[in-house]
C-alpha cells in the first residue's frame, strides 16, 4: 500500500496524519511518499517521520521525499491514497492580500478560508493546482482515493467530484468535536452521547443529541441562556437559540458566514459576541513564530514518538484496507442525500467506510431554516467553482455579490471594484479571467 502526502511541508499536520498511520499496526508497513514544493520544509517533515518510524514502528514503513513540481507524478505513481494539505499562496502574499484589500472597503473578516471574498479567492488560486493534481492522478494512480483536508473544503472537494474522475472525500475535524464542545461549554458530561450531524462543511447542524435516549437539547439550551460570563462561542450559541440548532464550526468562522455580526453600523456586536477580527493573520504569525521553536523539537528529536489522534485519515485507510466498517462525517457530492439542498452542492453527512469505499448516508430534509442558511453559502461556493471552470470573471462577481457578509456591507459597484483589485493584487497566483 502506498500513501502520498501532498503538502508534506506542513510538518505538524503531517505528524498527526502520517504519525497515525505509523501508530496503526495493520497499516504501518506502508510506503509513504512525501511531496512539497518547499524542499527545506519537506526535509524537516522527512526527518521527523523517520524518527517516529524508528521509535514506534521498527522502521516498517518506507518513507521517501519528492521536492518540486517536476517530481509530483513520481510521488503519486501507484498511490492507493493521496492526502492533500496544501496552501496556495501562503500567508505571504496571499492571506495578507485576502485581508488587507477588503479592509480598505470596510469589509472585515475573521478567518477568510471558507467563505467571503477571502474564501472565494483562496478557492480561485487553489483550484487550478487541484485540477493539475487530478490530471496527474488520473494518469499515474487513477484508482487512488483523494483525502482532501484543504480549505475551502466545499468548493475544492465539490469541484474535484464534479469535474475530475478522482474518488474524493473532504475531511474536517469539526464534526468529531462538535457535540463535546457544546456540552463542555454548558458544563454537561460528554460520556455516552449519540448525535447526528448533517449540512455543509463548517455549517453542518447538530440535528440530534441524546444520552440513553434522552434528548439533551432542552437542558443544553436552558444552561446556555443562563451563561453570564463572556465566552468564545457566543455566535454559535446565538445561532442555536435563534435557528434551533448548534453548528459544527467555531464562532469565529460562523461570524463571517452570515450577515448578522460583523457590521459597520453595529460595532458593539463585535464586543458583545466576542468576535476576533483579523484572527487568521494573527494565527499565521503565531504559528510561524511557534514553528521556529518547534522545529528543533520535531525534526532533530531522535526519541520522538506519536500517539494516534482523532484525524480521520488513518481510520479511513485502515477501514478500506482491512474491511473494518467505520463511520465518518465526510464531504461528498449531495446527489439527493440532503433533499432540500442542491444536488450539485458538496455536503457534509455521515458516511460508512469499508472495503467498498465511502458510502454516504441519506439524510432527507434539513430543518427549513438550516437548509436556508446553508443555501446562502452554497450559492457562493457553486459560483466560485463556475468561475474556476469557465474562466469567466463575471462569475467571480456573482460569487462575491451572493456572499451573505459581503452583500450585507458593500454596494454592487464596490463589490465589483473589490474583486477587480483582489484579482490584480494576486497577480500570477491566479489564472487569467476574461
Q: Which residue in the list 64, 173, 306, 395 is annotated as catalytic? A: 173
What pLDDT is recorded for position 228? 83
Residue pair 405/262 in contact (Cβ under 8 Å)? The answer is yes
All three cell numbers of 70, joined, read 517536476
Which residue stretches of 111-261 are H helix? 116-140, 153-163, 174-185, 217-226, 234-243, 251-254
As a whole number of angstroms, the distance between CA 152 and CA 394 comes to: 20
Question: pTM higher than 0.85 for the full model?
Answer: yes
> 283 exposed, middle or buried (CB, 10 Å; 0-12, 13-18, 19+)?
middle
Backbone angles phi, psi at 382, to 5 degrees: -65, -35
As a whole number of angstroms, the distance between CA 393 and CA 420 comes to: 9
Q: Between helices 393-401 and 412-426, what is the axis angle to 10°?
A: 130
As a whole number of angstroms, the distance between CA 307 and CA 161 comes to: 32
Catalytic-residue membership of 398: no
All three cell numbers of 271, joined, read 464586543
Q: What is the pLDDT along the chain (434 residues), one digit of tens a residue?
A: 999 999 999 999 999 999 999 999 999 999 999 999 999 999 999 999 999 999 999 999 999 999 999 999 999 999 999 999 999 999 999 999 999 999 999 999 999 999 999 999 999 999 999 999 999 999 999 999 999 999 999 999 999 999 999 999 999 989 999 999 999 999 999 999 999 999 999 999 999 999 999 999 999 999 999 998 889 999 999 999 999 999 999 999 999 999 999 999 999 999 999 999 999 999 999 988 888 788 878 888 889 999 999 999 999 999 999 999 999 999 999 999 999 999 999 999 999 999 999 999 999 999 999 999 999 999 999 999 999 999 999 999 999 999 999 999 999 999 999 999 999 999 999 999 98
As a whole number of angstroms, the distance between CA 113 and CA 403 comes to: 14
What pLDDT is recorded for position 348? 98
All three cell numbers of 385, joined, read 467553482
What pLDDT is recorded for position 302? 86
- List beta partners, residue 347: 332
Residue pair 127/159 in contact (Cβ under 8 Å)? The answer is yes
Amino acid at each position: 500500500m502506498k500513501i502520498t502526502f501532498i503538502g508534506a511541508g506542513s510538518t505538524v499536520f503531517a505528524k498527526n496524519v502520517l504519525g497515525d498511520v505509523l501508530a496503526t499496526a495493520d497499516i504501518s508497513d506502508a510506503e509513504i511518499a512525501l511531496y512539497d514544493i518547499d524542499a527545506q520544509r519537506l526535509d524537516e517533515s522527512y526527518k521527523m517521520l523517520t524518527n517516529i518510524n524508528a521509535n514506534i514502528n521498527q522502521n516498517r514503513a518506507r518513507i521517501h521525499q519528492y521536492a518540486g513540481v517536476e517530481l509530483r507524478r513520481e510521488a503519486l505513481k501507484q498511490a492507493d491514497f493521496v492526502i492533500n494539505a496544501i496552501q496556495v499562496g501562503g500567508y505571504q502574499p496571499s492571506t495578507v492580500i485576502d485581508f488587507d484589500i477588503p479592509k480598505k472597503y470596510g469589509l472585515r473578516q475573521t478567518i477568510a478560508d471558507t467563505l467571503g471574498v477571502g474564501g472565494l479567492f483562496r478557492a480561485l488560486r487553489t483550484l487550478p493546482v487541484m485540477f493539475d493534481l487530478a490530471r496527474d492522478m488520473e494518469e499515474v494512480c487513477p484508482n487512488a482515493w483523494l483525502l482532501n483536508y484543504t480549505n475551502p473544503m466545499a468548493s475544492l472537494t465539490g469541484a474535484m467530484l464534479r469535474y475530475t474522475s478522482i474518488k474524493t472525500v473532504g475531511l474536517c475535524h469539526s464534526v468529531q468535536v462538535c457535540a463535546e464542545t457544546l456540552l463542555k461549554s454548558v458544563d454537561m458530561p460528554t460520556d455516552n452521547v449519540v448525535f447526528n450531524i448533517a449540512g455543509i462543511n463548517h455549517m453542518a447542524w447538530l440535528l440530534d443529541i441524546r444520552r440513553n435516549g434522552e434528548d439533551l437539547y432542552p437542558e443544553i439550551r436552558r444552561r446556555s441562556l443562563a451563561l453570564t460570563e463572556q465566552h468564545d462561542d457566543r455566535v454559535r450559541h446565538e445561532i442555536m437559540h435563534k435557528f434551533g440548532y448548534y453548528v459544527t464550526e467555531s464562532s469565529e468562522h460562523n461570524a463571517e458566514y452570515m450577515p448578522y455580526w460583523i457590521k459597520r453600523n453595529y460595532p458593539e456586536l463585535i464586543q458583545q459576541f466576542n468576535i476576533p477580527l483579523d484572527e487568521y493573520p494573527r494565527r499565521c504569525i503565531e504559528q510561524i513564530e511557534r514553528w521556529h521553536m518547534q522545529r528543533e523539537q520535531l525534526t532533530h528529536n531522535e526519541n520522538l514518538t506519536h500517539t494516534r489522534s482523532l484525524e480521520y485519515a488513518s481510520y479511513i485507510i485502515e477501514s478500506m484496507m482491512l474491511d473494518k466498517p467505520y463511520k465518518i462525517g465526510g464531504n461528498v457530492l449531495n446527489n439527493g442525500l440532503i433533499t432540500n439542498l442542491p444536488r450539485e452542492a458538496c455536503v457534509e453527512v455521515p458516511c460508512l467506510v469499508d472495503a467498498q469505499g465511502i458510502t454516504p448516508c441519506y439524510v432527507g430534509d434539513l430543518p427549513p431554516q438550516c437548509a436556508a442558511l446553508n443555501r446562502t453559502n452554497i450559492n457562493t461556493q457553486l459560483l466560485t467553482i463556475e468561475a474556476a471552470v469557465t474562466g469567466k470573471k463575471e462569475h467571480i462577481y456573482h460569487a462575491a455579490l451572493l456572499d451573505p457578509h459581503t452583500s450585507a456591507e458593500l454596494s454592487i459597484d464596490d463589490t465589483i471594484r473589490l474583486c477587480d483589485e483582489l484579482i490584480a493584487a494576486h497577480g500570477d497566483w491566479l489564472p487569467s479571467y476574461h
